[in-house]
């Protein structure tokens, strides 16, 4: 349901498995169209994955459907007008019924309690495909992207070899940030978050993020500021997301005003003193107000490999939670 439910070793393994499946599948595809590596072939044969989405999605939907197809299973997309997800029927009834007929529920919801309640009453694994609080599949793909772009040291058990790096998040403190920050703390990556006053990290989320430091020898630091330049100083990676998340549409005008001055640009990176060779990341969908075209489409942007890595993150999560019953091997 969120990255905080994983140990650093488990999170790292999910990321490394995602990377390994990417390489193996690309090699198999190169050998012939439709070739699937033996390690994935038929892993979900005869199984149905229910995809219950109460919000729009491009990447999460396509990556999950494609991952299930690669593994030989049947992805069943159930949009908000298709089923009674929290409407006209209790979540309990929906969860018991759908889990009696499928092998996994992948759910995109509003309130996090919706996906937590589905999981509580389900007889099959439930994977959070984005809630108002967390986006764990995105965090797996994001660290796969960071690992592929930066890791020089060999990865070991509990880490991806990224200790000492710095991420600068400039923008809204939201669901994508909360799981990314949790992963940063676990892996010894510092994360500086710059949000306008009133849009910082809520205390209950700070507790979850900092809780990830437990048992970690050198956890990453969480730094908070309202000054974008401060966050950007010495950062290896600049990250942002939309200023208006799904469900916040009524606040759009107020938010656009509050976030003025927080757009990521090359000038901001220069003024703030980002590290030479800094990279840019964004989970997408993207709007020009949070990052300009020069950065988004520029040579330091990782956004398209990051989006593609959603497929491999989905493969890795489905293998761990559906094929291996939650054992992350
Ligand atoms: N990044 C992401 O989750 O994109 P979608 O909302 O398009 O699925
Ligand atoms: N923060 C965004 C992420 C979309 C993938 C939202 O919740 O709408």
Task: Write the CATH number of the domain with boundaries 138-306.
Answer: 3.40.50.1370
Tell me which residues have their CB closer than 6 angstroms to ligand 2: 130, 174-176, 241-242, 245-246, 283
Q: How far is CA 90 from CA 50, 84, 87, 127, in A?
A: 17, 8, 7, 19
Per DSSP, the three-state class of 133 is coil
**Exposed (0-12), middle (13-18) or buried (19+): which is 221, by Cβ within 10 Å?**
middle
How would DSSP label each residue in 217-272? SSPPPEEEES-HHHHHTT-SEEEE--SS-TT-GGGHHHHHHHTTT--B-HHHHHHH
Region 11-30 average pLDDT: 95
Give the CA-trace dihedral at 143, 310, 7, 117, to 10 degrees: 140
The atom number, within ligand 1, closest to the CA of 56 reads 6
pLDDT at 292 over 90: yes
pLDDT at 157 over 70: no
Class of domain 3-134+311-320: alpha beta
The ligand whose atoms approach the alpha carbon of 311 most closely is: 1
Residue nearest ligand 1's atom 7 by CA: 58
- Render pLDDT for 261-270 as a digit per residue (tens, 0 to 9): 999 999 999 9
Q: Give the pLDDT of residue 159.
A: 75
Q: How far is CA 49 from CA 44, 52, 59, 69, in A?
A: 9, 10, 17, 10
Please report, for the chain, the start and end positions of each structural domain, with discontinuous segments joined by +.
3-134+311-320, 138-306
Q: Give the pLDDT of residue 87.
A: 81
The atom number, within ligand 2, closest to the CA of 283 reads 5
- Catalytic position from the list 127, 205, 212, 283: 283
The lowest-confidence range among 36-45, 56-65, 311-320 is: 36-45
The ligand whose atoms approach the alpha carbon of 307 most closely is: 1
Q: Give the pLDDT of residue 300.
A: 97
Cα–Cα–Cα angle for 174, 129, 151, nearest 5°?
Answer: 70
- Render pLDDT for 29-55 as a digit per residue (tens, 0 to 9): 898 888 889 889 999 999 999 999 999
Active-site residue 184, yes or no? Answer: no
Band the pLDDT of 153: cuts 50, 70, 90.
confident
Q: Give the pLDDT of residue 86.
A: 77
Asked whether this chain's domains 3-134+311-320 and 138-306 adopt the same fold, the reply is yes
Helix, strand, coil fractions of the chain, as percent rounded to 5: 45, 15, 45
Q: Give the pLDDT of residue 152.
A: 73
pLDDT at 158 over 70: no
């Amino acid at each position: 349901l969120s990255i905080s439910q994983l140990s650093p070793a488990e999170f790292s393994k999910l990321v490394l498995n995602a990377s390994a499946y990417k390489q193996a599948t690309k090699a198999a595809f190169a050998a012939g169209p439709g070739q699937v590596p033996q390690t994935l072939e038929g892993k979900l044969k005869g199984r149905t994955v229910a995809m219950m989405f109460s919000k729009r999605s491009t990447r999460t939907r396509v990556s999950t459907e494609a991952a299930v197809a690669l593994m030989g299973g049947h992805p069943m997309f159930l949009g908000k007008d298709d089923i009674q997800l929290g409407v006209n029927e209790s979540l309990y009834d929906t969860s018991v019924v759908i889990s009696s007929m499928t092998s996994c529920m992948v759910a995109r919801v509003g309130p996090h309690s919706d996906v937590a309640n589905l999981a509580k009453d389900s007889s099959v694994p439930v994977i959070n495909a984005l809630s108002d609080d967390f986006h764990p599949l995105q965090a797996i793909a994001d660290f796969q992207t960071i690992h592929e772009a930066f890791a020089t040291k060999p990865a070991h058990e509990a880490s991806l070899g990224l200790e000492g790096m710095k991420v600068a998040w400039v923008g809204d403190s939201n669901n994508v940030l909360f799981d990314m920050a949790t992963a940063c703390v676990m892996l010894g990556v510092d994360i500086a978050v710059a949000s306008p006053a009133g849009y910082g990290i809520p205390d209950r989320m700070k507790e979850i993020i900092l809780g990830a430091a437990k048992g970690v020898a050198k956890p990453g630091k969480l730094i908070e500021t309202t000054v974008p330049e401060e966050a950007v100083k010495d950062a290896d990676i600049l990250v942002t997301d939309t200023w208006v998340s799904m469900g916040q549409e009524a606040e759009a005008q107020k938010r656009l005003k509050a976030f003025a001055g927080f757009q990521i640009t090359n000038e901001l990176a220069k003024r703030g003193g980002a590290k030479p060779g800094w990279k840019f990341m964004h989970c997408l969908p993207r709007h020009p107000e949070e990052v300009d075209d020069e950065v988004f489409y520029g040579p330091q942007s990782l956004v398209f490999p990051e989006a593609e890595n959603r497929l491999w993150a989905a493969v890795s999560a489905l293998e761990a939670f559906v094929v291996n019953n939650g054992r992350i091997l």
